[in-house]
Amino acid sequence: MTADRAGTAHVRQLLGAYVLDALDAGECVTVSRHLQRCDGCAGAYVEVAEASAILGLLDEEDLLE
């Protein structure tokens, strides 16, 4: 994790797992709390969540094109 100017660790590398509900409880709380106070990571979370939702709409044929 990288840190912001206040020394708080960013969570961007955990966002994919967070969106997919693949983090343990402690990591989930850490990410959730961080997203409440970090606009940069919150914006990245929205992008990851949107990409995940779009990928969920694709089927095998779409991926082979």
Position with higher pLDDT, 64 vs 32: 32
**Which residues does 27 contact at the CB level (< 8 Å), separation at least 6?**
14, 17, 18
Cβ count near 9 (within 10 Å): 13
Cβ distance 46 to 35 under 8 Å? no
**pLDDT per position as a tens digit, 5-53:** 544 578 999 999 999 999 999 999 999 999 999 999 999 999 999 999 9
Position with higher pLDDT, 46 vs 64: 46
Helix (H) or strand (E) holding 47: helix 39-57
Write down all domains in the chain, each with its CATH number in brackets.
Answer: 12-63 (1.10.10)
What is each CA distance from 31 to 26, 46, 47, in whole angstroms? 9, 13, 15
